[in-house]
Amino acid sequence: MTAKEQIIQMFRDNVKNQRPDVSGTNERHDGRTGQWLEHQFGVSSNASNMADLMGYELKNETTSKTTFGDWSANEYIFNQSEYSAIFSGNRAIERRDRFLTIFGNPNAAKHGRYSWSGEPCPKINKFNKFGQRLKIVKNNDIIAEYSYSEDNRSNKSEIVPDALQKKHLELARWYGNETPIRKRGKCLKRKLEDKFNDKGWFTCKRNNAGVYYKICFGEPMTFDNWIELVQQGIVFFDSGMYQGNARPYSEWRANNGYWDSLITETFE
């Protein structure tokens, strides 16, 4: 039996014709359905950046968009010694929370809690209201940059310290093709290809009643193709970083319609 045949059999034995049983789990945890699905395939929830099962990456389909991975930047401005006077604090989370008060947005529904999500989250090539954008540079590094002149907030002079009121200020950097010498952390090429460039990926589809009825497979992915999708805006950065939580929540996603276009085989 091939790896794919084994996965199909596991789907038929453990998943098909079932609804996810998430009773007893945290209702506010968005990933609980995905965890249930992983458990049906014998995949343990972990932070590994390798393919989930026999060389295949399992993707749980959510309502409208599906993630490639939660991949934090390799460098953030709030960890740079040059700006330590601005991003001060004994703990990393304190420095990061200061960043959020400058480049994020307060959420009235969360008692004014700041986050780097929604409106402030930078998209490719075009500056947003907060003067931020993503840009692909040498070696396919992705940077989030800020330009004071592009910041349209009426009170920006009160929010942004003088030392940060400049053009092309680098807020974050993801290493692209490789990790530079004397630097630490995986580059995006390794993160993407370790997960998706072995045997490929698979997902399970539910009908309108929420019952799983088929399993779908897609081909392996290369970083060269993926970074082109970032350039086109098909793959996008979906930050969920917020004040008081140390986890960066740096998802890279594409809409489900795009994922569906990658499906090459389907089995019921």
Higher pLDDT, 25 or 71: 71
φ, ψ at 114 (rounded to 5°): -85, 145
Two tokens, residue 153:
């907030």
Tell me the H-state helices in 41-119: 92-103
Query: At a CB cut-off of 8 Å and minimum separation 6, what does 213 contact?
Result: 16, 17, 205, 206, 207, 268
pTM over 0.85: yes
Q: Is the pLDDT of residue 22 over 90?
A: no
HSE-CB of 228 using CA atoms within 13 angstroms: 5
Return the axis-axis angle of helices 223-232 and 188-196, rounded to nearest 10°: 110
Helix (H) or strand (E) holding 11, with range, is: helix 3-14
> Using CA atoms, how far apart are residues 98 and 69, in angstroms rounded to an integer?
26
Percent of the chain with pLDDT over 90: 79
Q: What is the mean pLDDT of residues 96-109?
A: 95
> Using CA atoms, how far apart are residues 5 and 8, in angstroms rounded to an integer?
5
Amino acid letter, residue 188 = L
> Using CA atoms, how far apart are residues 248 and 239, in angstroms rounded to an integer?
8
DSSP 8-state symbol, 53: B
Mean model confidence pLDDT for the chain: 92
How do residues 153-182 score in pLDDT, each as one tens digit?
Answer: 999 999 999 999 999 999 999 999 999 999
